[in-house]
Homo-oligomer: A and B are copies of this chain.
Amino acid sequence: MSVLFQPFPLRNVVLPNRLVLPAMVTRLSGEDGLVNDDIRARYVRFARGGVGLIVIEAMAVHGAKSGPLLRISSDEFKPGLSDLCARVHDAGPSKVVPQIIHFLKISRSGWRQTVDMLSLEEIDAIVDAYGAAAVRARECGFDGVELHMAHAYTLSSFLSRLNPRKDDYGGTLANRLRLPLRVVRHVRERVGDDFTVGVRFVGDECVRNGYTTLDAGPIAIELARAGVDYVSLSAGGKFEDARVIEGEPLYPYTGYSGDRCMPGSAYPDGANLYIPEAVRASLRAAGLDTPVVAAGKLGSLAIAEKVLERGQGDLVGMARALLADPDLPNKWRTGREDAVVRCLYGNVCKALDESFRRVDCTLWPKKLGQAPESTDTEPPVWPAAGAGLRAECKEGKILLRWQSASDNEAMYGYQVFRAERVATGGVLVHHASVRAVSTRYEDNRVVAGGEYRYAIRPYDLAGNRGPMTETIEVRVSE
């Protein structure tokens, strides 16, 4: 069996496998910060799919105003969180930790609070709030806690090379690390020695004059020495290059650093792997065996295994791929990679988040609000052999059309496979997925004079695959 499915020990728990769901905004919570039915359903669904570690979306350690967001800032939130934790544990072998966050103020006028506006008392209060929240996480039954030090939020802004403070909390790397290290040491002291404390931070800020892996290595080393049990690496997601939209608060995933944070279809698989690779090498060179979580377009079994083989990470994080198909871990584990509903990295989920709407996957059947589940085993069928697959080249694109497949239960969608001499040596590989409402696909990732072969395969809600169409060949006019 793949090393991905060998157990992995953290401080106080053993993960059943090496797949991790990093914290991902759902926008399913209300303004009250309480766990609700939608939140419960979403995370229980992930647990049923068999992922090794679930990191629950960021919840605030403090009471600052914000849009809908989970809270862990006082004891009133504990019953809901305890119940969520118990349900996730009941649903499968996954371990579960909440990500806990502190953020600064932001307004629709475009103004935002920056770290240089914080008094020393306010800084002390951040340390205390993290400590109290971590204790609550432990009391709720979670397996650990993850400290959010990534993207545009408070602790990340302290770590940033753009941290504008002139005192002991800004300037040199040692000073920029001062508050994050205080938080780690305080949390460790509060939760004790038998509770996992992880950190997520960015290994490359991806903004002008930001830091790169050159600082991320020392940052990871210092965090590990202060008592952190794993480091989970992200990229970008900063305010500095966010797009300014009149009357809207700045949103930190709208600029280039937002592209890099959640690399979309224009990026190669594993676009950010240089980050965990460099950070892990720094940790190991310092004699530290702290596990590293890699992430960023790692949605295929082949690349996930390569991450471990090449030492680019110890754990493989994937948010969007698990949103598309929470059963991915169980399917991979049981040799059914073929049945995974593959994320297209079209970032419709990212766009939903940006427009403050519920984060669903566009591949899910409409109105379901959740990835479908079914125990049906009967595959869909085509109306006729070949399924009427046609292709035409138009304006430098290739347009494919085919007939609808049908299923005893419900159709889910179609997979498009493509072969090109150059990139795949003529072997058909998965190229795109199309929801069942459509029976056409436009391929614009082609070059003039290029020759391509295509075939289509239908799949139903249970992930059962119907037969592949016959292949069709087409040449792009010069």
A446 close to B173 (CB less than 8 A): yes
Pick out which of these stretches binds chain B: A209-217, A324-332, A383-391.
A209-217
Contact with B along A143-178 (1 / 0, CB 8 A): 000000000000000000100000010011111011
**A448 contacts which of B178, B212, B215, B425 (Cβ < 8 Å)?**
B178
Kindly provide the distance from the CB of A23 to the nearest chain B CB, expressed in whole angstroms.
23
* Distance between Cα atoms of A282 and B206 in the complex (Å): 26
B395 close to A171 (CB less than 8 A): yes
B266 close to A206 (CB less than 8 A): no
**Cβ–Cβ < 8 Å partners of A422 in chain B:** 218, 221, 282, 285-286
B175 close to A396 (CB less than 8 A): yes
Contact with B along A244-286 (1 / 0, CB 8 A): 0000000000011111000000111001001000100010011
A310 within 8 A of B: no
Contact with B along A369-405 (1 / 0, CB 8 A): 0000000000000000000000000011100000000
A337 within 8 A of B: no
- Count of chain A residues with Cβ under 8 Å from any Cβ of B? 53
A222 within 8 A of B: yes
With A207-B256, A266-B161, A422-B221: A444-B282 Cβ-Cβ less than 8 Å: no
Chain B residue with the shortest CB-CB distance to A476: B174
**A282 contacts which of B173, B208, B423 (Cβ < 8 Å)?**
B423
Chain B residue with the shortest CB-CB distance to A273: B274
A445 within 8 A of B: yes
The 18 sampled A-B contact pairs (Cβ below 8 Å) are A161-B266, A171-B396, A171-B444, A174-B476, A175-B395, A177-B447, A181-B448, A208-B256, A209-B266, A210-B256, A211-B266, A218-B422, A218-B447, A221-B447, A222-B448, A241-B256, A256-B256, A285-B423
